[in-house]
């Protein structure tokens, strides 16, 4: 995930999960351990599109949906995939075989978080250290159903889940997105 995406993730986490709509660039810079100029660069398009309102000492999140859509449109999940392989088991069995250190995303994360499945699915997406996965699941040339993304997050936020689902090409990603939008009251 790019540094500016980390900024979007944090802003959206604060708004969606913590109901904190007022933030400062300095606090984001310190918490994310990135430069103030990177935070400033990240929020500039949000300001221009009216997703945030910049005040003298802080900024207010005013349009979550617009910001989610913007982040989703610039996210390139394909670039973050560091390993892919085929496991000849169902997704439930694949999920059970994952090391404890992985962070599930996409369909698995939705199912685990909400105890619900808007549709059946056949791929598992995880954020993980590649060595934890390579030792457990050997790479092959079959059509992959396990996708490992670079583990550059410490937890999966609802915003991160949203943009990951947005970027998947499987037909059922739309059903998961719609279900998540209802849960986030974005409809």
The domain that contains 43 carries what CATH number? 1.10.10.10
Q: With cut-offs at 50, 70 and 90, classify the pLDDT of residue 178.
A: very high
Same domain, 93 and 70: no
pLDDT higher than 70, residue 187: no
pLDDT at 83 over 90: yes
DSSP E strand boundaries for the chain:
22-23, 52-54, 59-61, 81-85, 103-105, 124-128, 146-150
Number of domains present in the structure of the chain = 2
Mean pLDDT to the nearest integer, 43-51? 96
pLDDT score at 42? 97
Asked whether residue 135 carries a pLDDT value surpassing 90, the answer given is no
My answer on whether 85 and 168 are in the same domain is yes
Of 27, 45, 74, which residue constitutes the final position of a domain?
Answer: 74
Please check the confidence at residue 59 and state whether its pLDDT lies above 70. yes
pLDDT for position 130? 92
Q: How many CB atoms lie within 10 A of CB 30?
A: 12
pTM above 0.75, yes or no: yes
């Amino acid at each position: 995930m790019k540094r500016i995406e980390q900024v979007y993730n944090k802003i959206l986490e604060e708004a969606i999960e913590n109901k904190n709509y007022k933030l400062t660039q300095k606090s984001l810079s310190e918490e994310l351990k990135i430069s103030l100029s990177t935070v400033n660069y990240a929020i500039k398009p949000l300001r221009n599109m009216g997703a945030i309102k910049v005040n003298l000492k802080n900024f207010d999140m005013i349009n979550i949906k617009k910001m989610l859509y913007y982040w989703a449109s610039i996210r390139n999940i394909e670039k973050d995939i560091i390993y892919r392989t085929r496991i000849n088991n169902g997704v439930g069995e694949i999920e059970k075989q994952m090391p404890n250190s992985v962070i599930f995303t996409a369909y698995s994360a939705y199912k685990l978080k909400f105890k619900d499945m808007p549709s059946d699915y056949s791929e598992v997406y995880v954020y993980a250290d590649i060595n934890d996965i390579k030792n457990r699941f050997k790479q092959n040339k079959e059509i992959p159903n396990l996708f490992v993304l670079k583990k550059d997050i410490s937890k999966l936020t609802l915003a991160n889940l949203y943009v990951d689902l947005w970027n998947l090409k499987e037909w059922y990603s739309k059903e998961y997105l719609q279900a998540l939008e209802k849960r986030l009251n974005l409809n």
